[in-house]
């Protein structure tokens, strides 16, 4: 049987077809810390909004459970990349694996983070070094590698998990507060640096949130946890997502946190530190 020949005039316009494909191409969001807390809620939002996902966390099993659920619920593609970002080479390995799979990252969400609670003179040094690697170094590496790709394309968005303590000294959580101060200032610096590039960076500043963070940090006895009103991680994630989509440089989640952030521009650092001390001290004073 003779094959039908397509005349040149019958062929679809390649430029028009390319534009159509580009319009319908689904974007991809990479979320670290995607199996729990704010990271999980952000992954859910991106899936609901039709984004394909690259999910990063330590547990392959948990990642696959989350990825399969979101893929089935929303008809998106979920790629899992297990990685312990407290390891020095992990962030670059994540980037290399994503590139090897041919996945373009349109949105980077640096959510993964950890803290340790207690007097700095008694906390474990190696644990704190791991926290700095996770909260600071890996975040910086992922930002640098994916940001270069975004700038070269002229578009992209990055959401960084800072914290309300990024601008306020935090009694019994000095290393965590110091790490978040880096995240906030790093993000604000880049936000200004990236003007007119088509790429935006947003720093999300939540306060105490109802996640497993305080359990992992051995901080469940903090007064702010025991007697406060921890925020809903879904609400925090929504605040972050909306600010990210608007291209805002920062967003403080929660009315009380907004008030505290505003006070940080008026009250002295020493007075704020003393207020935070009262919130962070354990309900059982004998353990302070």
User: How many CA atoms are closer than 13 Å to the CA of 167, on its beta-carbon side?
Assistant: 24
Judged by DSSP in three states, 236 sits in helix
For residue 119, give every residue at least 6 positions away whose Cβ sits within 8 Å of its Cβ, in sequence order, or none: 172, 288
Residues acting as catalytic residues: 176, 180
- Residues 196, 189 contacting (CB under 8 angstroms): no
Nearest C-alpha neighbor of 65 from the set 39, 100, 36: 36
Nearest C-alpha neighbor of 107 from the set 161, 150, 154, 166: 150
Beta strands in 92-247 (DSSP E): 107-110, 156-161, 199-205
Tokens representing 218 are: 């051995």
DSSP state of 231: B
Nearest C-alpha neighbor of 217 from the set 94, 106, 135, 108: 135
**229 φ, ψ (degrees, to nearest 5):** -130, 80
């Amino acid at each position: 049987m003779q094959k039908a020949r397509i005349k040149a005039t019958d062929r679809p316009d390649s430029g028009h077809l390319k534009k159509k494909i580009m319009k319908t191409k689904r974007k991809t969001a990479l979320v670290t810390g995607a199996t729990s807390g704010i990271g999980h809620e952000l992954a859910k939002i991106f899936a609901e909004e039709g984004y394909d996902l690259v999910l990063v966390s330590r547990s392959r099993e948990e990642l696959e459970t989350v990825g399969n659920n979101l893929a089935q619920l929303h008809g998106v593609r979920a790629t899992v990349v297990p990685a312990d970002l407290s390891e020095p080479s992990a962030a670059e390995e994540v980037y290399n694996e994503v590139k090897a799979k041919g996945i373009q990252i349109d949105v980077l969400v640096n959510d993964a983070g950890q803290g340790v609670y207690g007097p700095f003179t008694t906390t474990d040094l190696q644990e704190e070094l791991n926290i700095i690697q996770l909260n600071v170094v890996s975040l910086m590496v992922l930002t640098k590698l994916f940001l270069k790709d975004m700038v070269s394309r002229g578009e992209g968005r990055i959401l960084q998990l800072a914290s309300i303590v990024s601008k306020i000294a935090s009694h019994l959580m000095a290393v965590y507060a110091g790490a978040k101060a880096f995240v906030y200032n790093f993000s604000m610096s880049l936000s200004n640096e990236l003007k007119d590039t088509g790429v935006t960076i947003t720093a999300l500043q939540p306060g105490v949130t109802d996640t497993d963070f305080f359990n992992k940090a051995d901080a469940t006895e903090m007064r702010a946890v025991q007697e406060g009103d921890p925020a809903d991680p879904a609400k925090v994630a929504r605040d972050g997502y909306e600010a990210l989509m608007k291209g805002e440089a920062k967003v403080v989640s929660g009315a009380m946190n907004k008030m505290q952030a505003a006070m940080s521009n008026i009250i002295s650092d020493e007075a704020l530190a003393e207020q935070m001390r009262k919130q962070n001290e354990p309900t059982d004073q004998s353990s302070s």
